[in-house]
Chains A and B, each alone.
Chain A
Amino acid sequence: MTFINYANREINCKIVYYGPGLCGKTTNIQWIHEQANPEKRGKLVSLATETDRTLFFDFLPLDMGMVKGFKVRFHLYTVPGQVFYDASRKLILRGCDGVIFVADSQRARLEANIESIANLATNLKENGFDIRTIPYVLQLNKRDMPTAAPVAEMEELLRFRGEPVIEAVAFKGTGVIETLKAAARQILMELQKN
């Protein structure tokens, strides 16, 4: 749910990175945090376990600059991907303006990706959203892995509404900004439509 403050001329949008455990959601945000101009980003907040698995969420605020006289800020969140954290995932989706689904390209994780998209659809619905209409981007991460399934096969299994598909190797930064840009474009155009 976008926050538009006419007093301060600010627009704040929430983007949530979703996907199965260890698919690269946190890696995406960490890369953005490391590479972004320090003046344009806030502190990276990570609520994680001792073994660095996301426990509740990661959060990174980004100042994106001005559009039509308004300061645009994106608040990036990741959800915990492990199956038993479903209650937390549901909460993090509250008020989100767009979703980036990070798929793990490794063949052994194809089923986990499918289950995670189904889980996303359910949790979006419980928050009053529709996975078919919310601004949405599919990132195919880990393209560098030797067991990565072909892009065509992954699109066949995971792409369901003609959404932008970005290939990525998140730990190197490949495709990370392109993914965020695609999500931002979708969100801002959706706001324009509405």
Chain B
Amino acid sequence: MAKLDLVMFEEEFSQLQAIIGKLQIECSAKVVFLVDKNGQQIAASGDVKSIDATSLASLTAGNVAATDGLAKLIGEKEFSLLFHEGEKDNLHISIVGKRGILVVLFDMNSSLALVRLRVKKASRELQEIFERVEERAQLHANESARFESPFSEITDDDIDKLFGD
């Protein structure tokens, strides 16, 4: 595989969850999602059940990827911030570190200025945790003897069962 897999352990996951939970409250957002650039949801906070989070993660990543492409076309490194204004709800999308996307869904109970302010602080905190996630994944990749890999004992039967009725 070309790049290191994204491996999330309980400690860092709880910290990420705490930060986006705090962000959701502090900016009075309906929902806050943390998504990875490949389209997978990492964490969420708020009225999550009201949204198809899997589709949102995939579409957000596609949106960011397409915008990245546009940025490079015009000589920019990236557009780190995207804002979509709706009639009732708005989406604030920002890049966190190398591989994270922070998505804030808010309505008239909040404001763009407040969201931008709170997101700036939360992004710094999230970035530190992403860096720790990568360091820890690298460390465990080198300590394979003590690492509980879910794939270590996978068999053909296990794979066949995935496609069973």
Q: Name A's B-contacting residues (CB within 8 A).
A: 1-8, 11-12, 14, 42-43, 45, 47, 56-57, 59, 61, 64-65, 67-70, 72, 75, 77, 87-88, 90-92, 94-95, 97, 127-130, 134, 177, 180-181, 184-185, 188-192, 194
Q: Are A3 and B62 in contact (CB under 8 A)?
A: no
Q: Are B150 and A68 in contact (CB under 8 A)?
A: yes
Q: Which of B5, B14, B40, B159 contacts A185 (CB 8 A)?
A: B159
Apart from the given pairs A4-B6, A72-B162, A75-B39, 10 other A-B contacts in the complex at a CB distance below 8 Å: A1-B1, A14-B38, A67-B154, A67-B162, A77-B58, A91-B65, A129-B2, A184-B163, A188-B154, A191-B154
In the complex, which residue of chain B has the Cβ closest to the Cβ of A9? B150
Given contacts A88-B66, A129-B2, contact A6 B7 (CB under 8 A): yes
Q: Which residues of chain B are within 8 angstroms of A185 by Cβ–Cβ distance?
A: 156, 159
In the complex, which residue of chain A has the Cβ closest to the Cβ of B13? A7
Determine the distance from Cα of A129 to Cα of B8 in the docked complex, in whole angstroms. Answer: 23
Determine the distance from Cα of A180 to Cα of B160 in the docked complex, in whole angstroms. Answer: 11
Q: Are A97 and B58 in contact (CB under 8 A)?
A: no
Q: Which residues of chain A are within 8 angstroms of B54 by Cβ–Cβ distance?
A: 42-43, 61
Q: Name B's A-contacting residues (CB within 8 A).
A: 1-10, 13-14, 36-40, 42, 52, 54-55, 58-59, 62, 65-66, 68-69, 149-154, 156, 158-164
CB distance from B85 to the nearest CB of A (A): 21
Q: Which of B1, B6, B38, B156 contacts A190 (CB 8 A)?
A: B1
Inter-chain residue pair count (beta carbon < 8 A) = 132
In the complex, which residue of chain A has the Cβ closest to the Cβ of B158? A67
Given contacts A69-B150, A181-B159, contact A45 B55 (CB under 8 A): yes
Q: Which residues of chain B are within 8 angstroms of A127 by Cβ–Cβ distance?
A: 2
In the complex, which residue of chain A has the Cβ closest to the Cβ of B52? A43
- State the main secondary structure of chain B at its contact with A: mixed
CB distance from A91 to the nearest CB of B (A): 4
Q: Which residues of chain A are within 8 angstroms of B161 by Cβ–Cβ distance?
A: 65, 67
Q: Are A128 and B2 in contact (CB under 8 A)?
A: yes
Q: Which of A3, A90, A130, A194 contacts B6 (CB 8 A)?
A: A3
- The 21 listed contacts between A and B (C-beta, < 8 Å) are A1-B3, A2-B1, A2-B6, A3-B8, A4-B5, A4-B7, A6-B13, A7-B14, A11-B150, A42-B52, A56-B62, A59-B58, A91-B66, A91-B69, A95-B36, A95-B39, A130-B2, A184-B163, A188-B154, A191-B154, A192-B151
Q: Which residues of chain A are within 8 angstroms of B162 by Cβ–Cβ distance?
A: 64-65, 67, 72, 184
Q: Are A2 and B8 in contact (CB under 8 A)?
A: no
Q: Are A3 and B55 in contact (CB under 8 A)?
A: no
CB distance from B53 to the nearest CB of A (A): 9
Q: Which residues of chain A are within 8 angstroms of B163 by Cβ–Cβ distance?
A: 64, 177, 180-181, 184
Q: Which residues of chain B are within 8 angstroms of A42 by Cβ–Cβ distance?
A: 52, 54-55
Q: Are B10 and A6 in contact (CB under 8 A)?
A: yes
CB distance from B141 to the nearest CB of A (A): 9
Q: Are A12 and B151 in contact (CB under 8 A)?
A: no
Q: Are B159 and A3 in contact (CB under 8 A)?
A: no
Given contacts A4-B7, A68-B158, A192-B151, contact A59 B38 (CB under 8 A): no
Determine the distance from Cα of A164 to Cα of B138 in the docked complex, in whole angstroms. Answer: 32
Q: Are B37 and A95 in contact (CB under 8 A)?
A: yes
In the complex, which residue of chain B has the Cβ closest to the Cβ of A135? B1
